[in-house]
Chains A and B, each alone.
Chain A
Amino acid sequence: EDQVTQSPEALRLQEGESSSLNCSYTVSGLRGLFWYRQDPGKGPEFLFTLYSAGEEKEKERLKATLTKKESFLHITAPKPEDSATYLCAVQARGNTGKLIFGQGTTLQVKP
């Protein structure tokens, strides 16, 4: 069964304290791994798509990496405005476009 597990469930950081969020997955043929950011009371906002092991993408203080079993979202020198829930999702082989989401990691960055 296709599955996505994110850890930790919650993470508290001081401003400037770098860390990483983990997304472990099992899927029957990975077609893509997606990272989203969700602010309270809003819909998820697309951040990155990774398609193959070894691929990396960056956006401001965020960097996403992918291996054959997991993905990491590295946050470098975070700021309070980076506080949000980060969601990981995978798309298995097929043409439906369906994504399987993890439970998310809620990040709080304190000034």
Chain B
Amino acid sequence: NAGVTQTPKFRILKIGQSMTLQCTQDMNHNYMYWYRQDPGMGLKLIYYSVGAGITDKGEVPNGYNVSRSTTEDFPLRLELAAPSQTSVYFCASSYSDKQVNYGYTFGSGTRLTVV
């Protein structure tokens, strides 16, 4: 059981380049999330999805886009990379019914540097 898989683990981008961070989960979780983690700032929500075909903005969505065509996959697209997007990115998934969220399972992260 792989859980949540993120690729790549590390990436260096030049300013203005674009890339897609991949995230896939094999737990049949309905909810998926993208967070970024900066030193001393905690985890900030970028985008989330409550099911295939449904996405919504989180706290810090500017400069990013997402799609969710299947339950398993939730890629994060960076367009026109900027130094402010240097961060560690975590994908997470969870199962949630109307009453309870059963806690996130996180991927191992993608460390992105924009130079």
Residues of chain A touching chain B, judged by Cβ–Cβ distance below 8 Å, are 4, 9, 31-32, 34, 36, 41-46, 49, 51, 87, 89, 91, 95-99, 101-104
Q: Which 4 A-B pairs have the closest CB atoms?
A: A43-B106, A101-B43, A103-B42, A97-B96
A103 engages B41 (CB within 8 Å): yes
A44 engages B42 (CB within 8 Å): no
CB within 8 Å for A45 and B106 given contacts A31-B101, A91-B101, A97-B96: yes
Place the interface of chain B in its size category: 20 to 34
Q: Say whether chain B's binding surface is mostly helix, strand, loop, or mixed.
A: strand
Nearest A-chain residue to B106, judged by Cβ: A43
Shortest Cβ gap from B1 to chain A (Å): 15
Residues of B within 8 A of A101 (CB): 35, 42-44
CB within 8 Å for A97 and B43 given contacts A44-B104, A45-B106, A46-B103: no
A-B CB pair tally, cutoff 8 Å: 66
Residues of B within 8 A of A31 (CB): 100-101
**B74 on the A face (CB < 8 A):** no
Residues of B within 8 A of A43 (CB): 4, 90, 92, 106-109
Q: State which of A46, A51, A96, A104 has its C-beta within 8 Å of the C-beta of B104.
A: A46
Q: State which of B35, B90, B100, B106 has its C-beta within 8 Å of the C-beta of A32.
A: B100
**Contact flags (1/0) for B41-63 with A, using CB distance below 8 Å?**
11111001010000010100000
27 pairs, A vs B, C-beta closer than 8 Å:
A43-B4, A43-B90, A43-B92, A43-B108, A44-B43, A44-B90, A44-B104, A44-B106, A45-B106, A46-B105, A49-B103, A51-B100, A89-B43, A95-B98, A96-B48, A97-B31, A97-B33, A97-B48, A97-B50, A97-B94, A97-B101, A98-B33, A98-B45, A98-B48, A99-B104, A102-B42, A104-B42
